[in-house]
A and B are shown apart, each in its own frame.
Chain A
Amino acid sequence: LKSRPFLKNSPRTYI
């Protein structure tokens, strides 16, 4: 599961 990119907790700067 961890290899699935959409489950990664990735940083995104919301405005």
Chain B
Amino acid sequence: SVRTACEIYEATRYVTGAKEFNTAAFEFILRNAMKVFQDNSFVKLSTAAVAEILSRDDISVHSEVDIFDAMLRWHHTDEDAYLIGTSTKTRNLRKCIKESVLNCIRFPNFEPFVYCGLIQRWRILSKDEEDYLYSIWAGT
């Protein structure tokens, strides 16, 4: 099951003798990513595990929005981020999201109207970064 796959993947990450189990669980997760994202075992994964999953080219998702939603869902249960967020009394998502996880989001892969409609309101990118993004979409 999805839960078992996440648990095996996490538990065997640093076990040299369990490479095959780890690879099998990882591939199962990539193939069933949409189900994995919905499961409670997903939000319990470590930062390194989540970054590894979300950074893959061959993850089975419909669009970059699925990756973004998964990132947000995982982030909201990230205790470290919660502590940073409350200690600095900031709601700045950019400061709270772990860099390795943020780096998994491929902003140029969003449709511009999707970015403006769904993603922009999270205020993750700076003005300069957005300008750069628009220049990519404009094909310059």
Chain A interface (Cβ < 8 Å from any Cβ of B): 1-2, 4-15
- Establish whether residues B128 and A6, one from each chain, have CB atoms under 8 Å apart when the complex forms: no
Shortest Cβ distance from A1 into B: residue = B132
Cα–Cα, bound, A5→B26 (Å): 23
User: Is A10 a contact partner of B129 (Cβ separation < 8 A)?
Assistant: no
- The answer to whether B61 and A6 have CB atoms under 8 Å apart is no
Determine which of A8, A13, A14, A15 lies in contact with B108 in the assembled complex, contact meaning CB atoms within 8 Å.
Answer: A8
B interface list, Cβ under 8 A from A: 57-64, 67, 102-109, 128-129, 132-133, 136
CB closest residue in chain A, given B65: A14
Residues of B within 8 A of A10 (CB): 57, 106, 108-109
B62–A6 CB distance below 8 A: no
A5 B103 Cβ-Cβ under 8 A: yes
Whether B58 and A8, one on each chain, are in contact in the complex, defined by CB atoms closer than 8 angstroms, is: no
For B57, the chain A residues whose CB sits under 8 A away are 10-13
- Give A14 Cβ to nearest chain B Cβ, in Å: 6
Q: Are B109 and A6 neighbours in the complex by a CB distance under 8 Å?
A: no
Measured CB to CB, the closest approach of chain A to B135, in angstroms, equals 10
- Please give, as numbers and ranges, the residues of chain B lying within 8 Å of A4 by CB-CB distance: 103, 129
User: Measured between alpha carbons, how far is A14 from B62 in the docked complex, in Å?
Assistant: 5
Contacts of A14 in B (CB 8 A): 61-64
- Could you tell me the distance between the alpha carbons of A13 and B63 in the complex, rounded to whole angstroms? 9
**CB < 8 Å: which of A6, A8, A9, A11 contacts B102?**
A6
